[in-house]
Structure 1
Amino acid sequence: MKLSADLKELEQRLGYRFARPDLLRQAVTHGSMSGPGREDNQRLEFLGDRVLGLVMAQALLEHDKTATEGQLAPRFNALVRKETCADVAREVDIGAALKLGRSEQKTGGRRKMALLGDAMEAVIAAVYLDGGFDAAQALTLRLWGKRIANVEDDAKDAKTALQEWAQARGLEPPLYLETARSGPDHAPVFTIEARLSTGDQAEATASNKRQAEQAAAKALLARVRQAKA
Protein backbone atom coordinates (compact mmCIF):
# COMPACT_ATOMS: atom_id res chain seq x y z
CA MET A 1 0.00 0.00 0.00
CA LYS A 2 1.33 3.41 -0.98
CA LEU A 3 0.88 6.44 1.21
CA SER A 4 -1.12 9.44 0.07
CA ALA A 5 0.65 12.79 -0.13
CA ASP A 6 -0.67 13.98 3.24
CA LEU A 7 0.54 10.82 4.97
CA LYS A 8 3.96 11.04 3.32
CA GLU A 9 4.25 14.57 4.66
CA LEU A 10 3.23 13.35 8.11
CA GLU A 11 5.91 10.65 7.91
CA GLN A 12 8.48 13.38 7.27
CA ARG A 13 7.26 15.49 10.18
CA LEU A 14 7.39 12.45 12.45
CA GLY A 15 10.89 11.57 11.30
CA TYR A 16 9.97 7.91 10.88
CA ARG A 17 9.42 5.90 7.71
CA PHE A 18 6.95 3.04 7.93
CA ALA A 19 7.72 -0.37 6.51
CA ARG A 20 3.96 -1.06 6.84
CA PRO A 21 2.23 2.14 5.70
CA ASP A 22 -1.18 0.66 6.47
CA LEU A 23 -0.41 1.13 10.17
CA LEU A 24 0.00 4.87 9.77
CA ARG A 25 -3.20 5.13 7.77
CA GLN A 26 -5.09 3.24 10.47
CA ALA A 27 -3.56 5.45 13.17
CA VAL A 28 -5.10 8.59 11.65
CA THR A 29 -8.48 7.05 10.76
CA HIS A 30 -11.25 8.19 13.07
CA GLY A 31 -14.25 6.00 13.83
CA SER A 32 -16.43 8.25 11.66
CA MET A 33 -14.46 7.01 8.62
CA SER A 34 -14.17 3.34 9.49
CA GLY A 35 -15.87 0.71 7.37
CA PRO A 36 -15.30 -2.59 5.58
CA GLY A 37 -11.60 -2.93 4.91
CA ARG A 38 -10.79 0.27 6.82
CA GLU A 39 -10.09 -0.06 10.55
CA ASP A 40 -10.24 2.97 12.81
CA ASN A 41 -7.55 3.94 15.33
CA GLN A 42 -9.26 2.94 18.59
CA ARG A 43 -7.33 -0.29 19.13
CA LEU A 44 -4.05 1.43 18.28
CA GLU A 45 -4.90 4.26 20.67
CA PHE A 46 -5.36 1.70 23.46
CA LEU A 47 -1.92 0.22 22.78
CA GLY A 48 -0.21 3.55 22.24
CA ASP A 49 -1.40 4.82 25.60
CA ARG A 50 0.45 1.92 27.27
CA VAL A 51 3.61 2.36 25.21
CA LEU A 52 3.64 6.08 25.96
CA GLY A 53 3.20 5.36 29.67
CA LEU A 54 6.17 2.99 29.77
CA VAL A 55 8.41 5.37 27.84
CA MET A 56 7.49 8.31 30.09
CA ALA A 57 7.87 6.32 33.32
CA GLN A 58 11.38 5.28 32.34
CA ALA A 59 12.27 8.78 31.14
CA LEU A 60 11.15 10.31 34.44
CA LEU A 61 13.25 7.90 36.47
CA GLU A 62 16.28 8.81 34.41
CA HIS A 63 15.49 12.55 34.43
CA ASP A 64 15.43 12.81 38.23
CA LYS A 65 17.10 9.94 40.04
CA THR A 66 16.17 11.30 43.48
CA ALA A 67 12.44 11.94 42.90
CA THR A 68 9.99 10.15 45.15
CA GLU A 69 6.91 8.29 43.92
CA GLY A 70 4.82 11.19 45.19
CA GLN A 71 6.79 13.59 42.99
CA LEU A 72 6.86 11.27 39.98
CA ALA A 73 3.12 10.62 39.81
CA PRO A 74 1.95 14.17 38.94
CA ARG A 75 4.84 14.56 36.51
CA PHE A 76 3.85 11.33 34.80
CA ASN A 77 0.24 12.48 34.56
CA ALA A 78 1.33 15.78 33.04
CA LEU A 79 3.25 13.98 30.30
CA VAL A 80 0.66 11.37 29.33
CA ARG A 81 -2.62 13.28 29.71
CA LYS A 82 -4.76 13.81 26.63
CA GLU A 83 -4.06 17.55 26.51
CA THR A 84 -0.32 16.91 26.22
CA CYS A 85 -0.79 14.28 23.52
CA ALA A 86 -2.96 16.74 21.61
CA ASP A 87 -0.34 19.49 21.95
CA VAL A 88 2.31 17.18 20.49
CA ALA A 89 -0.10 16.18 17.73
CA ARG A 90 -0.54 19.84 16.82
CA GLU A 91 3.21 20.35 16.65
CA VAL A 92 3.56 17.63 14.00
CA ASP A 93 0.20 18.62 12.45
CA ILE A 94 -1.47 15.24 12.70
CA GLY A 95 -4.77 17.08 12.20
CA ALA A 96 -3.93 17.72 8.55
CA ALA A 97 -3.75 13.97 7.93
CA LEU A 98 -6.75 12.82 9.96
CA LYS A 99 -9.30 10.73 8.06
CA LEU A 100 -12.67 12.00 9.27
CA GLY A 101 -16.30 11.53 8.35
CA ARG A 102 -18.25 14.50 7.06
CA SER A 103 -19.89 15.25 10.40
CA GLU A 104 -16.55 15.45 12.21
CA GLN A 105 -15.08 17.62 9.48
CA LYS A 106 -17.97 20.05 9.75
CA THR A 107 -17.60 20.33 13.55
CA GLY A 108 -13.87 21.07 13.54
CA GLY A 109 -12.64 17.53 14.18
CA ARG A 110 -9.12 18.34 13.03
CA ARG A 111 -8.79 20.74 15.97
CA LYS A 112 -10.50 18.67 18.67
CA MET A 113 -8.27 17.78 21.57
CA ALA A 114 -9.69 14.29 22.06
CA LEU A 115 -9.31 13.33 18.40
CA LEU A 116 -5.77 14.70 18.20
CA GLY A 117 -4.72 13.08 21.47
CA ASP A 118 -6.12 9.71 20.42
CA ALA A 119 -4.42 9.92 17.04
CA MET A 120 -1.08 10.77 18.64
CA GLU A 121 -1.28 7.70 20.86
CA ALA A 122 -2.32 5.61 17.86
CA VAL A 123 0.69 6.84 15.90
CA ILE A 124 2.98 5.78 18.74
CA ALA A 125 1.39 2.32 18.64
CA ALA A 126 1.77 2.19 14.87
CA VAL A 127 5.49 2.90 15.18
CA TYR A 128 5.76 0.30 17.94
CA LEU A 129 4.12 -2.38 15.79
CA ASP A 130 6.11 -1.36 12.72
CA GLY A 131 9.58 -0.93 14.23
CA GLY A 132 9.51 -2.27 17.77
CA PHE A 133 9.84 -0.63 21.18
CA ASP A 134 13.15 1.08 20.46
CA ALA A 135 11.67 2.91 17.47
CA ALA A 136 8.58 3.95 19.42
CA GLN A 137 10.71 5.10 22.35
CA ALA A 138 13.01 7.15 20.11
CA LEU A 139 10.04 8.85 18.42
CA THR A 140 8.30 9.59 21.71
CA LEU A 141 11.39 10.96 23.44
CA ARG A 142 12.12 13.19 20.46
CA LEU A 143 8.59 14.60 20.36
CA TRP A 144 8.25 14.92 24.16
CA GLY A 145 11.84 16.03 24.83
CA LYS A 146 11.25 19.61 25.98
CA ARG A 147 8.26 18.53 28.03
CA ILE A 148 10.33 16.02 29.95
CA ALA A 149 12.94 18.70 30.62
CA ASN A 150 10.27 21.11 31.93
CA VAL A 151 8.04 18.54 33.60
CA GLU A 152 8.29 20.04 37.08
CA ASP A 153 6.51 23.17 35.85
CA ASP A 154 4.11 21.33 33.58
CA ALA A 155 2.99 19.09 36.44
CA LYS A 156 1.36 22.09 38.07
CA ASP A 157 -2.23 22.93 37.23
CA ALA A 158 -1.89 25.43 34.35
CA LYS A 159 -4.48 27.88 35.69
CA THR A 160 -2.85 27.85 39.12
CA ALA A 161 0.60 28.32 37.61
CA LEU A 162 -0.60 31.26 35.50
CA GLN A 163 -2.27 32.90 38.48
CA GLU A 164 0.90 32.48 40.58
CA TRP A 165 2.93 34.02 37.74
CA ALA A 166 0.56 37.01 37.59
CA GLN A 167 0.44 37.52 41.37
CA ALA A 168 4.23 37.40 41.63
CA ARG A 169 4.32 40.40 39.29
CA GLY A 170 1.56 42.37 40.98
CA LEU A 171 -0.96 41.69 38.21
CA GLU A 172 -4.66 41.00 38.51
CA PRO A 173 -5.80 37.36 38.23
CA PRO A 174 -6.22 36.09 34.65
CA LEU A 175 -9.62 36.28 32.97
CA TYR A 176 -11.15 33.42 30.99
CA LEU A 177 -13.63 34.34 28.26
CA GLU A 178 -15.63 32.02 26.05
CA THR A 179 -15.09 33.41 22.55
CA ALA A 180 -16.75 30.70 20.48
CA ARG A 181 -18.86 27.57 20.71
CA SER A 182 -19.49 25.15 17.88
CA GLY A 183 -20.75 21.64 17.27
CA PRO A 184 -24.04 19.99 18.21
CA ASP A 185 -25.56 20.30 21.69
CA HIS A 186 -24.52 16.76 22.61
CA ALA A 187 -20.89 17.35 21.61
CA PRO A 188 -20.05 21.05 21.92
CA VAL A 189 -16.61 22.47 21.26
CA PHE A 190 -15.53 25.51 23.29
CA THR A 191 -12.96 28.17 22.47
CA ILE A 192 -11.65 29.99 25.55
CA GLU A 193 -9.39 33.02 25.70
CA ALA A 194 -7.09 33.49 28.69
CA ARG A 195 -6.18 37.14 29.20
CA LEU A 196 -3.87 39.03 31.53
CA SER A 197 -4.24 42.66 32.59
CA THR A 198 -1.11 43.38 30.52
CA GLY A 199 -3.09 42.59 27.38
CA ASP A 200 -1.31 39.29 26.77
CA GLN A 201 -3.72 36.59 25.68
CA ALA A 202 -3.98 33.10 24.21
CA GLU A 203 -6.82 30.92 22.97
CA ALA A 204 -7.49 27.19 23.09
CA THR A 205 -10.27 24.88 21.95
CA ALA A 206 -11.51 21.72 23.66
CA SER A 207 -14.62 19.62 24.15
CA ASN A 208 -15.34 21.10 27.58
CA LYS A 209 -14.71 24.46 29.20
CA ARG A 210 -12.34 23.23 31.88
CA GLN A 211 -9.99 21.63 29.37
CA ALA A 212 -10.15 24.70 27.13
CA GLU A 213 -9.34 26.99 30.07
CA GLN A 214 -6.43 24.81 31.13
CA ALA A 215 -5.06 24.69 27.58
CA ALA A 216 -5.45 28.46 27.15
CA ALA A 217 -3.71 29.10 30.48
CA LYS A 218 -0.86 26.81 29.50
CA ALA A 219 -0.44 28.51 26.12
CA LEU A 220 -0.50 31.97 27.68
CA LEU A 221 1.99 31.02 30.38
CA ALA A 222 4.37 29.66 27.76
CA ARG A 223 3.97 32.85 25.71
CA VAL A 224 4.69 35.30 28.53
CA ARG A 225 7.59 33.24 29.83
CA GLN A 226 9.16 33.18 26.39
CA ALA A 227 8.62 36.92 25.97
CA LYS A 228 10.28 37.68 29.31
CA ALA A 229 13.18 35.26 28.74
Structure 2
Amino acid sequence: MKVANELKALEARLGHSFSRPELLVRAVTHSSMSSPTRQDNQRLEFLGDRVLGLVMAEALLEHDKSASEGQLAPRFNALVRKEACADVAREIDLGAALKLGRSEMMSGGRRKQALLGDAMEAVIAAVYRDAGFDVARAMILRLWGSRVQSVEADARDPKTSLQEWAQARKLPPPRYEMVKRSGPDHAPVFTISVQLENGMAAEATDNSKRKAEQAAAKAMLAEVEKG
Protein backbone atom coordinates (compact mmCIF):
# COMPACT_ATOMS: atom_id res chain seq x y z
CA MET A 1 0.00 0.00 0.00
CA LYS A 2 1.37 3.40 -0.95
CA VAL A 3 1.77 5.76 1.97
CA ALA A 4 0.83 9.39 1.35
CA ASN A 5 3.39 12.12 1.92
CA GLU A 6 1.80 13.26 5.18
CA LEU A 7 2.00 9.72 6.54
CA LYS A 8 5.65 9.41 5.52
CA ALA A 9 6.29 12.67 7.38
CA LEU A 10 4.40 11.30 10.40
CA GLU A 11 6.53 8.14 10.33
CA ALA A 12 9.62 10.34 10.56
CA ARG A 13 8.19 12.20 13.56
CA LEU A 14 7.27 8.91 15.22
CA GLY A 15 10.72 7.50 14.55
CA HIS A 16 9.21 4.32 13.07
CA SER A 17 8.96 3.18 9.46
CA PHE A 18 6.03 0.78 9.03
CA SER A 19 6.54 -2.56 7.34
CA ARG A 20 2.72 -2.74 7.22
CA PRO A 21 1.75 0.86 6.34
CA GLU A 22 -1.93 -0.08 6.21
CA LEU A 23 -1.81 -0.13 10.02
CA LEU A 24 -0.83 3.53 10.14
CA VAL A 25 -3.49 4.40 7.58
CA ARG A 26 -6.09 2.73 9.78
CA ALA A 27 -4.73 4.43 12.91
CA VAL A 28 -5.30 7.90 11.46
CA THR A 29 -8.73 7.14 9.95
CA HIS A 30 -11.57 8.66 11.98
CA SER A 31 -14.99 7.01 12.05
CA SER A 32 -16.34 9.88 9.91
CA MET A 33 -14.25 8.44 7.04
CA SER A 34 -14.98 4.76 7.62
CA SER A 35 -16.77 2.59 5.06
CA PRO A 36 -17.30 -1.13 4.41
CA THR A 37 -13.88 -1.16 2.72
CA ARG A 38 -12.12 1.33 5.02
CA GLN A 39 -11.75 0.54 8.73
CA ASP A 40 -11.58 3.34 11.28
CA ASN A 41 -9.19 3.54 14.24
CA GLN A 42 -11.55 2.64 17.08
CA ARG A 43 -10.35 -0.94 17.61
CA LEU A 44 -6.72 0.17 17.48
CA GLU A 45 -7.53 2.92 19.98
CA PHE A 46 -8.84 0.25 22.38
CA LEU A 47 -5.61 -1.71 22.09
CA GLY A 48 -3.32 1.31 22.21
CA ASP A 49 -4.84 2.47 25.48
CA ARG A 50 -3.77 -0.84 27.07
CA VAL A 51 -0.27 -0.76 25.58
CA LEU A 52 0.22 2.81 26.81
CA GLY A 53 -1.05 1.84 30.25
CA LEU A 54 1.43 -1.02 30.62
CA VAL A 55 4.36 1.12 29.46
CA MET A 56 3.48 3.96 31.84
CA ALA A 57 2.90 1.59 34.78
CA GLU A 58 6.33 0.02 34.24
CA ALA A 59 8.00 3.41 33.78
CA LEU A 60 6.51 4.78 37.01
CA LEU A 61 7.59 1.73 39.00
CA GLU A 62 11.10 2.05 37.60
CA HIS A 63 11.29 5.79 38.20
CA ASP A 64 10.18 5.70 41.86
CA LYS A 65 10.88 2.36 43.50
CA SER A 66 9.53 3.45 46.89
CA ALA A 67 6.21 4.99 45.81
CA SER A 68 3.03 3.46 47.19
CA GLU A 69 0.07 2.42 45.05
CA GLY A 70 -1.77 5.46 46.37
CA GLN A 71 0.97 7.73 45.01
CA LEU A 72 1.39 5.86 41.73
CA ALA A 73 -2.28 5.73 40.74
CA PRO A 74 -2.84 9.50 40.29
CA ARG A 75 0.51 9.85 38.49
CA PHE A 76 -0.51 7.03 36.15
CA ASN A 77 -3.86 8.66 35.45
CA ALA A 78 -2.15 11.97 34.65
CA LEU A 79 0.12 10.28 32.09
CA VAL A 80 -2.46 8.17 30.23
CA ARG A 81 -5.57 10.34 30.17
CA LYS A 82 -6.86 11.77 26.89
CA GLU A 83 -5.42 15.22 27.59
CA ALA A 84 -1.89 13.81 27.87
CA CYS A 85 -2.32 11.77 24.68
CA ALA A 86 -3.67 14.83 22.85
CA ASP A 87 -0.73 16.95 24.05
CA VAL A 88 1.72 14.42 22.61
CA ALA A 89 -0.32 14.24 19.41
CA ARG A 90 -0.04 18.02 19.02
CA GLU A 91 3.72 17.89 19.56
CA ILE A 92 4.12 15.48 16.63
CA ASP A 93 1.44 17.26 14.54
CA LEU A 94 -0.65 14.11 14.31
CA GLY A 95 -3.65 16.22 13.33
CA ALA A 96 -2.09 16.96 9.93
CA ALA A 97 -2.26 13.26 9.02
CA LEU A 98 -5.79 12.51 10.23
CA LYS A 99 -8.28 11.22 7.66
CA LEU A 100 -11.57 12.95 8.48
CA GLY A 101 -14.99 13.21 6.91
CA ARG A 102 -16.02 16.59 5.55
CA SER A 103 -18.15 17.55 8.56
CA GLU A 104 -15.36 16.77 11.03
CA MET A 105 -12.82 18.60 8.89
CA MET A 106 -15.04 21.68 8.64
CA SER A 107 -15.62 21.73 12.41
CA GLY A 108 -11.89 21.76 13.20
CA GLY A 109 -11.48 18.04 13.85
CA ARG A 110 -7.71 18.16 13.38
CA ARG A 111 -7.48 20.25 16.56
CA LYS A 112 -10.08 18.47 18.70
CA GLN A 113 -8.67 17.02 21.89
CA ALA A 114 -10.80 13.85 21.82
CA LEU A 115 -9.90 13.03 18.20
CA LEU A 116 -6.21 13.67 18.77
CA GLY A 117 -6.13 11.60 21.97
CA ASP A 118 -7.93 8.69 20.33
CA ALA A 119 -5.67 8.81 17.27
CA MET A 120 -2.53 8.86 19.43
CA GLU A 121 -3.66 5.68 21.17
CA ALA A 122 -4.45 4.11 17.79
CA VAL A 123 -0.98 4.99 16.48
CA ILE A 124 0.58 3.35 19.53
CA ALA A 125 -1.38 0.17 18.76
CA ALA A 126 -0.36 0.35 15.10
CA VAL A 127 3.33 0.45 16.06
CA TYR A 128 2.77 -2.40 18.52
CA ARG A 129 1.06 -4.54 15.87
CA ASP A 130 3.71 -3.65 13.28
CA ALA A 131 6.88 -4.16 15.31
CA GLY A 132 6.09 -5.54 18.76
CA PHE A 133 6.01 -4.31 22.33
CA ASP A 134 9.67 -3.29 22.71
CA VAL A 135 9.52 -0.94 19.72
CA ALA A 136 6.19 0.51 20.87
CA ARG A 137 7.55 1.03 24.39
CA ALA A 138 10.66 2.81 23.09
CA MET A 139 8.52 5.13 20.98
CA ILE A 140 6.13 5.92 23.83
CA LEU A 141 8.94 6.71 26.26
CA ARG A 142 10.60 8.93 23.66
CA LEU A 143 7.41 10.83 22.84
CA TRP A 144 6.28 11.20 26.46
CA GLY A 145 9.81 12.40 27.25
CA SER A 146 10.27 13.99 30.66
CA ARG A 147 6.60 13.65 31.59
CA VAL A 148 7.28 10.52 33.65
CA GLN A 149 9.99 12.25 35.65
CA SER A 150 8.16 15.55 36.03
CA VAL A 151 4.67 14.26 36.83
CA GLU A 152 3.73 15.85 40.15
CA ALA A 153 4.86 13.94 43.24
CA ASP A 154 1.19 13.91 44.13
CA ALA A 155 -0.80 14.18 40.90
CA ARG A 156 -4.02 13.90 42.85
CA ASP A 157 -7.12 15.30 41.18
CA PRO A 158 -7.73 18.82 42.63
CA LYS A 159 -11.49 18.20 42.55
CA THR A 160 -11.06 15.13 44.74
CA SER A 161 -8.76 17.00 47.12
CA LEU A 162 -11.23 19.89 47.41
CA GLN A 163 -14.13 17.51 48.05
CA GLU A 164 -12.14 15.76 50.77
CA TRP A 165 -11.28 19.15 52.32
CA ALA A 166 -15.00 20.03 52.43
CA GLN A 167 -15.99 16.64 53.85
CA ALA A 168 -13.39 16.91 56.61
CA ARG A 169 -15.09 20.15 57.70
CA LYS A 170 -18.60 18.67 57.38
CA LEU A 171 -19.43 20.93 54.43
CA PRO A 172 -21.53 19.80 51.44
CA PRO A 173 -19.61 18.90 48.26
CA PRO A 174 -18.34 21.84 46.18
CA ARG A 175 -20.71 23.08 43.46
CA TYR A 176 -19.43 23.63 39.90
CA GLU A 177 -21.26 25.93 37.49
CA MET A 178 -20.51 27.08 33.97
CA VAL A 179 -20.23 30.87 34.09
CA LYS A 180 -19.62 31.37 30.39
CA ARG A 181 -18.92 29.52 27.16
CA SER A 182 -17.33 31.42 24.28
CA GLY A 183 -15.43 30.79 21.08
CA PRO A 184 -16.43 28.74 18.01
CA ASP A 185 -17.79 25.19 18.31
CA HIS A 186 -14.49 23.64 17.24
CA ALA A 187 -12.50 25.64 19.81
CA PRO A 188 -14.78 26.45 22.77
CA VAL A 189 -13.60 28.28 25.89
CA PHE A 190 -15.23 27.48 29.22
CA THR A 191 -15.29 29.58 32.39
CA ILE A 192 -16.23 27.45 35.41
CA SER A 193 -17.02 28.61 38.94
CA VAL A 194 -16.73 26.48 42.07
CA GLN A 195 -18.49 27.43 45.30
CA LEU A 196 -18.32 26.15 48.85
CA GLU A 197 -21.15 26.27 51.36
CA ASN A 198 -19.07 28.64 53.52
CA GLY A 199 -19.40 31.31 50.81
CA MET A 200 -15.97 30.97 49.22
CA ALA A 201 -15.79 30.87 45.41
CA ALA A 202 -13.19 30.63 42.66
CA GLU A 203 -13.27 30.36 38.89
CA ALA A 204 -11.02 29.40 35.99
CA THR A 205 -11.06 29.37 32.20
CA ASP A 206 -9.81 26.71 29.78
CA ASN A 207 -10.64 25.20 26.39
CA SER A 208 -11.67 21.98 28.16
CA LYS A 209 -14.59 21.90 30.59
CA ARG A 210 -12.81 19.29 32.69
CA LYS A 211 -9.58 21.28 32.80
CA ALA A 212 -11.49 24.44 33.77
CA GLU A 213 -13.14 22.58 36.66
CA GLN A 214 -9.76 21.22 37.76
CA ALA A 215 -8.18 24.67 37.58
CA ALA A 216 -11.05 26.22 39.55
CA ALA A 217 -10.69 23.54 42.22
CA LYS A 218 -6.93 24.14 42.33
CA ALA A 219 -7.50 27.89 42.75
CA MET A 220 -9.97 27.21 45.54
CA LEU A 221 -7.51 24.89 47.31
CA ALA A 222 -4.89 27.63 47.17
CA GLU A 223 -7.35 30.01 48.83
CA VAL A 224 -8.48 27.66 51.60
CA GLU A 225 -4.90 26.69 52.37
CA LYS A 226 -4.10 30.37 53.02
CA GLY A 227 -6.59 30.33 55.84
TM-score (norm 2): 0.75
Within the alignment, does 1:74 sit opposite 2:74 as a pair? yes
On the 8 A contact 1:88/1:144 being kept in 2, the answer is yes
Rate the CA distance shift 1:144–1:18 in 2: closer, same or farther, 3 A. Answer: same
Distance 2:212 2:81 in 1: 14
The match for 2:184 is 181
2:207 is equivalent to residue 205 of structure 1? yes
- Which residue pairs with 1:225 in the alignment? none
The corresponding residue for 1:108 is: 108
**Code of the aligned partner of 1:123:** V
Residues 1:193 and 1:141: Cα distance change in structure 2 (over 3 Å): farther
> CA offset at residue 212 of structure 1?
5.7
How far apart are the structure 2 equivalents of 1:87 and 1:154?
20
Shift of 1:113: 0.7
| Counterpart-to-counterpart distance in 2, 1:154 and 1:99 | 38
Larger Rg: 2
2:13 matched to which residue of 1?
Answer: 13
Runs of 4+ in 1 over 3 A off after TM superposition: 156-160, 176-179, 203-206, 211-215
- Quote the Cα distance in structure 2 between the aligned partners of 1:47 and 1:212: 29
Give the TM-score, by structure 1 length.
0.74
AA at the equivalent of 2:207: T
Give the whole-Å Cα distance in 1 for the aligned partners of 2:23 and 2:68.
Answer: 38
Q: How many residues align?
A: 190
For residue 189 of structure 2, give the secondary structure of its aligned residue in structure 1: strand
Q: Tell me the distance in 2 between the aligned counterparts of 1:79 and 1:34.
A: 29
Tell me how far apart the structure 1 counterparts of residues 109 and 150 of structure 2 sit (CA, whole Å).
29
Identity over aligned pairs, percent: 69
What is the aligned partner in structure 1 of residue 188 from structure 2?
190
CA pair 27-214 structure 1, distance change in 2 beyond 3 A: farther
Task: Report the Cα offset of residue 181 of structure 1.
Answer: 3.3
State how far apart, in whole Å, the 2-side matches of 1:153 and 1:71 are: 8
Contact 1:29 1:98 in 2 (8 A): yes
Q: Which runs of 5+ in 2 are unaligned?
A: 161-178, 193-204, 219-227
Amino acid at match of 2:23: L
Q: Distance in 2 between matches of 1:4 and 1:150?
A: 36
Equivalent residue, structure 2, for 1:32:
32
SS at match of 2:48: helix
User: Which 5+ residue runs of structure 1 have no aligned equivalent?
Assistant: 161-175, 184-188, 195-202, 219-229
Q: CA deviation at 1:214?
A: 5.3
Aligned to 1:181, the other structure's residue is in SS state coil
**SS where residue 95 of structure 2 aligns?**
helix
How large is the RMSD of aligned CA atoms in angstroms?
2.8
How far apart in 2 are the matches of 1:104 and 1:21?
Answer: 24
Alignment CA distance shift 1:14-1:213 (3 Å)? farther
- In structure 2, how many angstroms separate the alpha carbons of the residues matched to 1:53 and 1:4? 30
Partner of 1:152: 152
